[in-house]
Amino acid sequence: MPVAVDHYRRYPVPAVLRGVAEHAWVARHAAGADHVEVLLPDGRGLLQVVRGAAGELVDPLTGARTPDGDGVRGPRTHAVVARQRGPVVRLGVQLHPLGPARLRAGRPLADAWTALDDVLPAGTATRVGALLDEGADDAAVAALLDALAARPRHDGAELDRLEDAIAYVEAHRGLVRASDIAREVAASVGDLHRWCTTLLGVTPAQYLAAVRFSTFVRESVGTGPVDAAATVATVEWFVDAGYPPREVERFTGLPPVELRRLAEHLAQRLGPAGV
Per-block mean pLDDT, blocks of 10 residues, the chain (275 long)? 66 95 93 80 91 86 86 86 87 94 73 86 94 96 96 90 95 91 96 93 89 83 76 75 62 72 72 46
The CATH number of residue 113's host domain is: 2.60.120
* pLDDT recorded at residue 269: 62
Q: Structural domain tally of the chain?
A: 1
Is 14 domain-assigned?
yes
Positions of E strands within 194-258? none
DSSP state of 16: G
Is 82 domain-assigned?
yes
Backbone angles phi, psi at 269, to 5 degrees: -80, -5
What is d(CA 187, CA 181) in angstroms, rounded to the nearest whole number?
8
Is 34 domain-assigned?
yes
Is 137 domain-assigned?
yes
Q: 119 near 21, Cβ under 8 Å? A: no
* pLDDT recorded at residue 236: 76
pTM of the model: 0.83
Is 180 domain-assigned?
no
CA atoms within 13 A on the CB side of 262: 26
* pLDDT recorded at residue 94: 95
Is 128 domain-assigned?
yes
Cα-based angle 105, 47, 207 (whole degrees, multiple of 5): 70
Is 126 domain-assigned?
yes
Range of the domain at 126: 7-150
SS3 160: helix
* pLDDT recorded at residue 274: 44
Is 191 domain-assigned?
no
